[in-house]
Structure formats: structure tokens, C-alpha cells
Amino acid sequence: MPEAAGYEQARPRVVIHLAAVVGGIGANQRYPGRFFYDNAIMGIQLIEYARRFEVEKFVCVGTICAYPKFASIPFRETELWDGYPEETNAPYGLAKKMLLVQLQAYRDEYGLDGIYLLPVNLYGPGDNFDPEYSHVIPAIVRKLVEAKRDGLPNIEAWGTGEASREFLYVGDAAEGIVSAMERYAKPDPVNLGSSEELKVRDLVRAIKRLVGYQGEVVWDASKPDGQPRRKLDTSRAKAEFGFEASVPLSEGLKRTIEWYESTLVSPVRTR
């Protein structure tokens, strides 16, 4: 098994499992089987071999998609099992959710110190801007930046724009993960977020303003919105290991846009 070979070579004391096969709503709809199998099997094997090689700590980064579709606002960790996830990403969310069950079972039977974190939607420089797999922020950033560069009169956005989301800057997420690794050792899952909720429509307006695009955004209401609302209760992360997000969305978006613009072969005209 590749997992066994990796553990044999590295002999890690701590494992942080960040890997996932992920995508936006469209990718989740196209590849539900792949997203379930790949995410379940890689996590299950990594945790099993962490046990076999007596790893001191296993940090599993789960997904906000594990929460019920109509979870109460704000999402509380105690309500994680109170309903079925939103249908378009349920296979992915459930695959990652099973890793929480595995970690709790392994803690009880084998004494494996495994913790499980639930980050909200992440974004930032280095994000995946691929049109097929990107999430909402990189997808919209790419469309708007390239539309401005190419002088296009409009771009298309999925859904109605009325669904809400919460976002966490990648640097804040990294700090939260490291803090949890160092200071948290309980079986209960922990939310990581910014506690800043906004509608997708308002998010797109903010990106459009930062990019300086003067064209129109056309909303395709025939496409799904996904989960109606997302906003986390982050009080457990603060109480248990002192985590609070520090990068405002406006600043994080600015950094993300500038990073993406720097990767383009044909530069965007100066704003």
C-alpha cells in the first residue's frame, strides 16, 4: 500500500491530513462516485496506517459540506448529525464525515490521538482556479479578471446569488490547524471560520469592485445555489485553542485577486 510505504519512509510523529478530491457544485454533480470513494478511501487508509505506525497525533481536516442542508444558524458542532447534507455535495461531505467516526472509534479502541476540524469555505493565493473544479471565489475572480482583460461585456454566475456563505482566508486556516495540533486533544469536532456571513450576490459585487470590471453579471437561476446558508459558531475553537480569524474578507479578496492577476500571461490593464 502507498500509505504504508509513506509512513515507513517518513516515520512521522504528527500527520495533518489536508488532501481531498474537491470541486465546486458542478464538479460534485458530475463526479459524486469519485468524490465519495477517493475521499473516503484515502482518509480511511491514512488513519489506519497512522494507528499501525503509532503516530502521536493525527489531524484530520474535514469539510463544511458535512453539515445538514438546513442546519440551524450558526452551525454548531453538536448539531453535525441532525440531518442529511445538501444533495449536490452529500457524497463528498459524507465521505469526509466518516473520518470523524473512524477517529473517534480509534481513540476509544486504540488510543489514537486524532482530532477533526471543520473549516468553512477556504480561499486565498494559490487557490484552484480551474474552471471545472474551482469553488465560488476563484471561479468568480477568474471570470471577472479575464473578462476585464478581454473587454467582455458580461460574465455568467451560477444560481440566484441569494445563498449565503462564510469564508476563511488560507493563512488564518493554517494558523488554526497548527494551533489545534498543538493545543487540542479531544474527540469532538471543531469549527474553523470567520463568523462573517454574506450572500453570494454581495460577494460577487465585492470582487467585481476590487477587480474594476465595468460589465454586467448575469445570474443563471437554472443552476443550483447549493446549501441555502452557511455561518459557523466558532466559539469552541476560541475556547479550546484560542483561534480567531484575523484577515478581513476584503483584504483576503484583494490578495487573492492580485495573486491570480500575477499568474496571467497577458496582464490585466491597470485599474
DSSP 56-95: SEEEEE--GGGSBTTPPSSB-GGGTTSSPBPGGGHHHHHH
The bridge status of strand 197-199 relative to strand 164-169 is antiparallel
* Active-site entry in 7, 31, 92, 123: 92
Q: What CATH number is associated with residue 29?
A: 3.40.50.720
Q: CB–CB of 65/59 below 8 Å?
A: no
Q: What is the pLDDT of residues 207-230, one digit of tens each?
A: 999 999 999 999 999 998 989 999
Q: Does residue 271 form part of some domain?
A: no
Residue 240 grid coordinates: 479550546
227 by DSSP, 3-state: which? coil
Cα atoms found within 13 Å of the Cα of residue 30, Cβ hemisphere only: 9
Q: Does residue 269 form part of some domain?
A: no
Residue 181 grid coordinates: 495540533
* pTM metric for this prediction: 0.92
Q: What is the pLDDT of residues 22-56, one digit of tens each?
A: 888 888 899 999 999 999 999 999 999 999 999 99
Q: Does residue 238 form part of some domain?
A: yes
Overall number of domains in the chain:
1
Instruction: Give the pLDDT confidence score for residue 25 in this predicted structure.
Output: 85
Q: Does residue 203 form part of some domain?
A: yes
**Integer Cα distance of 207 and 199 in angstroms:** 13
Q: Does residue 215 form part of some domain?
A: yes
Q: Does residue 268 form part of some domain?
A: no
Q: Does residue 257 form part of some domain?
A: yes
Residue 1 has pLDDT above 70, yes or no: no
Domain that holds residue 86: 2-263
Residue 234's CB: how many other CB atoms inside 10 A? 24
Active site residue 169: no
Q: Does residue 194 form part of some domain?
A: yes
